Amino acid sequence: MPDRSSCRETKAGFFVYVGERNGKTNRPFGRRRFIFDLKDKRIILTGASGSLGRQIREELTALGARVCATDLDAGMAEDAGSGDDGGMSRILDVTDQGQWDECLAAVASTWGGVDALVNNAAIASSKVPIDERDPADFARILDVNLQGPFLGTRAVIPYLGDKGGSIVNIASVAGVAQAEDADAAYAASKAGLLALTRSTAAQQAHRNIRCNAIAPGPVASALVSAIYDTPEKLARRLTRVPLGRMAEPRDVSASVAFLISDRAAYLNGVTIGVDGGAAIQ
């Protein structure tokens, strides 16, 4: 029996082949249909110049979205975003309410509105024993990783308005499980972000604003290389990941794209664990 349909991912996005395959070439007959795209979506992305931020921007753009790439300074934001693909870049320190307001006003006036926000910016640290943790450092990590997404959520809601939209919070498996591996301040900030996700989802659903989270396990990135800086440390960490490897940034960006898309229209308040099974260990 020939395959009636098959699914592939390319640089341009996900699509499904509908129809039978040619027996000689094994190529599918029939039409190529995108499973989802992000055409006409206007998205604000924080921490866009980081390892994951770059990949998220690239994937959302490839699926047809316009992305406002933001980061701490102009160099980083410009480096991460490009006007050539219909996007823009802005300075945005997520801890600064005034900068959120300016950014949202600028995006809405240029593009006529906003459809989604990806709260991706964060700071991480290697594990510091809790009895040695400086309270000022603890507060700073919560400020960026939890207060930042809160300020962004608060600022974007009026722009999403009654037409609705999507907020995606990038949390971490550290906020769900694997407490032994995580820094307490980082874990607390990400657990708080998951609670913020659920509260936002519950409170804004009546306006069709969906809010969901992604909780990645270790991702191949500069951040992880700095924390697990020897092959032994990394190997030890991976013994606690059932799939036995780190996530690739594209494993995470695929879930971000899906949650923003209209194919996820009935997902609200959920956390997708992109963690190779780490949270079930």
Ligand X SMILES: NC(=O)c1ccc[n+]([C@@H]2O[C@H](COP(=O)([O-])OP(=O)(O)OC[C@H]3O[C@@H](n4cnc5c(N)ncnc54)[C@H](O)[C@@H]3O)[C@@H](O)[C@H]2O)c1
Interacting residues with ligand X (CB under 6 A)? 46-47, 49-53, 71-72, 76, 92-95, 120-124, 144, 148, 170, 172, 216, 218-219, 221-224
Assess whether 186 carries a catalytic annotation: yes
Closest contact distance (angstroms) between CB of 148 and ligand X is 6
Closest contact distance (angstroms) between CB of 125 and ligand X is 11
Nearer CB in complex with ligand X: 7/136: 136
Nearer CB in complex with ligand X: 39/245: 245
**Which of 17, 186, 228, 266 is labelled catalytic?**
186
Nearer CB in complex with ligand X: 20/248: 248
Closest contact distance (angstroms) between CB of 72 and ligand X is 5
Instruction: Give the separation between CA 197 and CA 213, rounded to whole angstroms.
Output: 7
DSSP annotation string for the chain? ---SEEEEEETTEEEEEESPBPTTT--B-S-EEES---TT-EEEESSTTSHHHHHHHHHHHHTT-EEEEEESSHHHHHHH--GGGT-EEEE--TT-HHHHHHHHHHHHHHHS---EEEE----------TTT--HHHHHHHHIIIIIHHHHHHHHHHHHHGGG-EEEEEE--GGGTS-TTTS-HHHHHHHHHHHHHHHHHHHHHGGGTEEEEEE----BSSHHHHHHS-SHHHHHHHHTTSTT-SPBPHHHHHHHHHHHHSGGGTT--S-EE--STTGGG-
Nearer CB in complex with ligand X: 13/47: 47
Closest contact distance (angstroms) between CB of 18 and ligand X is 35
Nearer CB in complex with ligand X: 49/200: 49
Closest contact distance (angstroms) between CB of 218 and ligand X is 5
Active site residue ranges:
186
